Structure 1
Amino acid sequence: GVADVFPHAVIQWEDFHKRNAFRILENYRHRIRCFNDDIQGTAGVAVAGVLAALRITGQPITEQRVLFIGAGEACTGIARLLAAAMREAGSTEEEIKASRLIFDSRGLLQEGVEVTDDHKHELVASRAILGRYGLDGPGRPTPAEVIGRFQPTILVGATAMPGTFTREMIEEMAKHVDQPIVMPLSNPTSKAECAPREAIAWSGGRALVATGSPFPDVEHDGVRHVIGQGNNVFVFPGVGLGAIISEIQEINEEIFLMAARTLAEFVSDERLKQGALYPDQSELREVSARIAAAIVRYANSERLGRSVADEDVDGLVADSTWFPDYVPVISLDPGSN
């Protein structure tokens, strides 16, 4: 197998159907160094956006309530990593389960409704949780009705369905939250759940918006809102490089939570003041180096990989980074094309 021929390789799974994606990841994650970018990479970059937004709002992650529209690879991965972040911050399992509600293409995932995809079972809300928010009546409520009762602080979409985030939803969210965090993550741009200008206008200029596709900045009431793009490229290169350098044997959940924290901390105060939840993409190389270095140090502290002296980590990461510099090609024959 791959591990025999390339014992130091890291495998990045990408673009599998959701039924295969979860199965393959679970089959191999404890056997070879691998990760699924659609599940774990997306989770890392989305959780980074949440953590950066909380630097603006000043709220702890333990007090967040998250409504997911979509229950595929992306939203499942994000829900899992957010749960890990909340758990690390002191939330109980019951508090974590009560902090999130999830819609799939058929409606709210709730106890008593048939769920056919295995990965969705962990996302189903119990009757007790629904009752806490007055959502335990007959039928399945709409997203706007859930927002009115649940009062989420964070709205995440990964549906590839433009118009999924409606004016009614954002306006209802803004009634209960000073600075709603709105994340229409689908790409390309034409499939985003809403445009940033819509979320900002519908929230009266208060929404903190991050997208999965590139969008221009938004001017609202004389204020410029910079729209940060939550692209997985902020996470997976650093994770892969860090795993290769450290020779860590398993790329676990802690690795992606560490990547998310590192990325969130990298966002400058100046960009946060402008509403941007991610660095500029011109800073990608530095972000990747910091994530890789954090992973190497984590592997050292936990004795999970090769031993690298702390003072040597940053230099080793720099020396291991490839630059696309090419020797110029010069024709020796002036008459040749």
Structure 2
Amino acid sequence: MEKTVIMNGGDYPVVEEEGKAGFGGGVEDVYGEDSATEDQLVTPWTVSVSSGYTLLRDPHHNKGLGFNEKERDAHYLRGLLPPAVFTQELQEKKLMHNLRKYDVPLHRYMAMMDLQERNERLFYKLLIDNVEELLPVVYTPTVGEACQKYGSIFSRPQGLYISLKEKGKILEVLKNWPEKSIQVIVVTDGERILGLGDLGCQGMGIPVGKLSLYTALGGIRPSACLPVTIDVGTNNEQLLKDEFYIGLRHKRATGQEYAELLDEFMSAVKQNYGEKVLVQFEDFANHNAFELLSRYRSTHLVFNDDIQGTASVVLAGLIAALKLVGGTLADHTFLFLGAGEAGTGIAELIALEISKQTKAPLEETRKKIWLVDSRGLIVSSRKESLQHFKKPWAHEHEPVKALLDAVKAIKPTVLIGSSGVGKTFTKEVVEAMSSFNKKPLILALSNPTSQSECTAEEAYTWSKGRAIFASGSPFDPVEYDGKVFVPGQANNAYIFPGFGLGLIISGAIRVHDDMLLAASEALAVQVAQENFDKGLIYPPFTNIRKISAHIAAKVAAKTYELGLASRLPRPKDLVKYAESCMYSPIYRSYR
């Protein structure tokens, strides 16, 4: 690991990176630009950081009690810290001890956000080393509650807020952000936060949370990540009346006004950060999500996690589950409850994968997949009244209103919930699935936990221990009939960090569906026999950085194959290259 040298220069010591030469805006490396996402490699020659009291308040460089005796003398820290010197490991142990004392998940979330604002490397060290325990704290389900209460718990602004007030000057606003070399932007307009609805400006918790996972799980350096909230108002009456609400106090702008703001934002992003900045759309309402993805996919590097990330992670689980249920994907029949962006996104990717495997046309492979929306089974007699994204799923069948009747009529082998409505996979539905499937595959994907279509315990109990179950939010292991079942979590965090890393290391300029299929296949092969033995169709999160490196390598390989990579020549070993590019949260030595 390169050492960081802080050389004393009056009141401002200088950070100098050893072992890498560079000029202009990046480092000199074999790929022609800053190779990694690791920020140690990016500094050309030297950069000034504050010393003394200011250094302790700089989250990027602060180590707290981790500063050793020499560093305390060199950087005017003597007397500003208690005499004890702690290793990073001891600091981590103390913080985990304190976090576990909180009974309320939101308090843990607030403590983690406070740590991120105080000591960035320690925050990521905690998150990486305790990923299974802390993932539900910094992301679903706790982040949902944090967004609901964001106005009340708001202390320090994180990310960029771009509202209608900034129309006409978005490029200037982007230039206000202190970091200039941005690789990933996660943006929301707060209209459909998880299963919680319109939270307006308070949706910022989602981009902030997603980007902390990009760093912890995918190794993208924190300084290359930019959370953005587009505030066009909110239709949430409760928030409009809340004196602590932090956003614009009027109804949502729509139509041309909305489109123009988003268009200005997308143009400014490309102008400021270049062709290769990844823009991830997050928690937009259905109509806008599909529209934005189709509008910008041919001109920008864009990705919608709700449509494409969810689809990729679910497809990975289904490919892995074939080892337990047998057959190929084409042998199975799929029934969805929910025909929004998640449901139709997953359905389309399954159809694409079956088409790729069987060489059958997409129109044919779609017929293996049925969707139920709020009005019942999507059938051809409803075609005229359907939204455009539902039309490909309108197959020949008589109308069916209720989910239970649809299950009995279609006899699916796989039941997938993406409705955002809890308790919809009833006892009768699960029993019906079990009556014609030896091992019914049941995925209750809606977040947060309260919106899950059924719980793990219900799925295992009602199927008499035969269901293969995965959910969107985490559930504890379940004991049934003397056997312990460990429910899998179809969490997008398996896919998007590695997917983003793959795009960055290959210098991708566009996202192609084949890259999503590559990510799914890469995740599916990471499930080991010992995981299958517990009924799991996803690998444990403890290996997530290794998994992300493999996904990144497969995505990058596909990017090169499609001719969409700009970082040339292609590295020989993409897995090793991906690993070498990952950000490390270990403290750097200052001299």
Residue of structure 1 in register with 2:373 after alignment? 104
**2:585 paired with 1:324:** yes
**2:548 paired with 1:291:** no
What is the rounded CA distance, in whole Å, between the counterparts of 1:108 and 1:115 in structure 2? 13
Give the secondary structure class of the aligned counterpart of 1:31: coil
Residue of structure 2 in register with 1:37 after alignment? 305
**CA apart distance, 1:56:** 1.5
**2:325 paired with 1:57:** yes
What is the rounded CA distance, in whole Å, between the counterparts of 1:269 and 1:115 in structure 2? 47
What is the rounded CA distance, in whole Å, between the counterparts of 2:571 and 2:435 in structure 1? 48
Give the secondary structure class of the aligned counterpart of 1:101: strand
Residue of structure 1 in register with 2:573 after alignment? 312
Deviations 1:276-320 (A, max 9, x none): 111111121111111101122222333331334453322321222
**CA apart distance, 1:118:** 2.0
What is the rounded CA distance, in whole Å, between the counterparts of 2:575 and 2:386 in structure 1? 47
Distance change >3 Å, CA 98–CA 309, structure 1 → 2: closer
Structural mapping, 1:250-289, within 5 Å: 250-289=510-549
What is the rounded CA distance, in whole Å, between the counterparts of 1:309 and 1:16 in structure 2? 35
Residue of structure 2 in register with 1:229 after alignment? 489
Check the 8 A contact 2:515/2:559 in 1, yes or no.
no
**CA apart distance, 1:239:** 0.9
**CA apart distance, 1:101:** 1.1
Distance change >3 Å, CA 210–CA 328, structure 1 → 2: farther
- Pick from 374, 389, 404 the counterpart of residue 119 of structure 1: 389
Distance change >3 Å, CA 319–CA 63, structure 1 → 2: same
What is the rounded CA distance, in whole Å, between the counterparts of 1:207 and 1:260 in structure 2? 22
Give the secondary structure class of the aligned counterpart of 2:517: helix
Deviations 1:182-222 (A, max 9, x none): 00001111110001111111112111000000001111111
Root-mean-square deviation (CA), in Å? 1.7
Identity level (%): 37
Distance change >3 Å, CA 95–CA 200, structure 1 → 2: farther
- Pick from 282, 298, 303 the counterpart of residue 563 of structure 2: 303
What is the rounded CA distance, in whole Å, between the counterparts of 1:230 and 1:3 in structure 2? 32
- 1:23 partner amino acid: E
What is the rounded CA distance, in whole Å, between the counterparts of 1:270 and 1:115 in structure 2? 48
Check the 8 A contact 1:210/1:230 in 2, yes or no.
yes
Deviations 1:128-181 (A, max 9, x none): xx2xxxxx2xx5342222222211010000122111001111111111111111
Deviations 1:77-115 (A, max 9, x none): 100100011101114445423211111112111122253
Give the secondary structure class of the aligned counterpart of 1:12: strand
What is the rounded CA distance, in whole Å, between the counterparts of 2:364 and 2:381 in structure 1? 21
What is the rounded CA distance, in whole Å, between the counterparts of 2:534 and 2:569 in structure 1? 38
Q: Which runs of 5+ in 1 are unaligned?
A: 131-135, 330-337
Residue of structure 2 in register with 1:5 after alignment? 272
What is the rounded CA distance, in whole Å, between the counterparts of 1:116 and 1:58 in structure 2? 35
What is the rounded CA distance, in whole Å, between the counterparts of 1:221 and 1:30 in structure 2? 53
- Pick from 466, 470, 477 the counterpart of residue 206 of structure 1: 466
TM-score of the pair, normalised by structure 2: 0.52
Deviations 1:47-80 (A, max 9, x none): 1111111121221111110000001111011001
**CA apart distance, 1:225:** 1.0
Distance change >3 Å, CA 29–CA 94, structure 1 → 2: closer
Give the secondary structure class of the aligned counterpart of 2:525: helix
Residue of structure 2 in register with 1:334 after alignment? none
Q: Which runs of 5+ in 2 are unaligned?
A: 1-266
- Pick from 397, 400, 412 the counterpart of residue 140 of structure 1: 400
Check the 8 A contact 1:48/1:261 in 2, yes or no.
yes
What is the rounded CA distance, in whole Å, between the counterparts of 1:296 and 1:100 in structure 2? 30
TM-score of the pair, normalised by structure 1: 0.90
Deviations 1:3-32 (A, max 9, x none): 232122111110111100000000001111
Check the 8 A contact 1:115/1:121 in 2, yes or no.
no
What is the rounded CA distance, in whole Å, between the counterparts of 1:180 and 1:72 in structure 2? 23
Give the secondary structure class of the aligned counterpart of 2:392: helix
**CA apart distance, 1:116:** 4.2
Check the 8 A contact 2:549/2:579 in 1, yes or no.
yes
Larger radius of gyration, structure 1 or 2? 2
Aligned length: 319
- 2:378 partner amino acid: L
Residue of structure 2 in register with 1:27 after alignment? 295
Give the secondary structure class of the aligned counterpart of 2:450: helix
- 1:175 partner amino acid: S
Check the 8 A contact 2:516/2:555 in 1, yes or no.
no
Give the secondary structure class of the aligned counterpart of 1:68: strand
- 1:240 partner amino acid: G
- 1:293 partner amino acid: A
Check the 8 A contact 1:300/1:307 in 2, yes or no.
no
Give the secondary structure class of the aligned counterpart of 1:240: helix
Distance change >3 Å, CA 242–CA 93, structure 1 → 2: closer
Check the 8 A contact 1:68/1:75 in 2, yes or no.
yes
Give the secondary structure class of the aligned counterpart of 1:294: helix
- Pick from 11, 18, 24 the counterpart of residue 286 of structure 2: 18
What is the rounded CA distance, in whole Å, between the counterparts of 1:195 and 1:248 in structure 2? 39
- 1:197 partner amino acid: E
Distance change >3 Å, CA 309–CA 25, structure 1 → 2: closer
- Whose RCO is larger (CA < 8 A, sep 6+)? 1
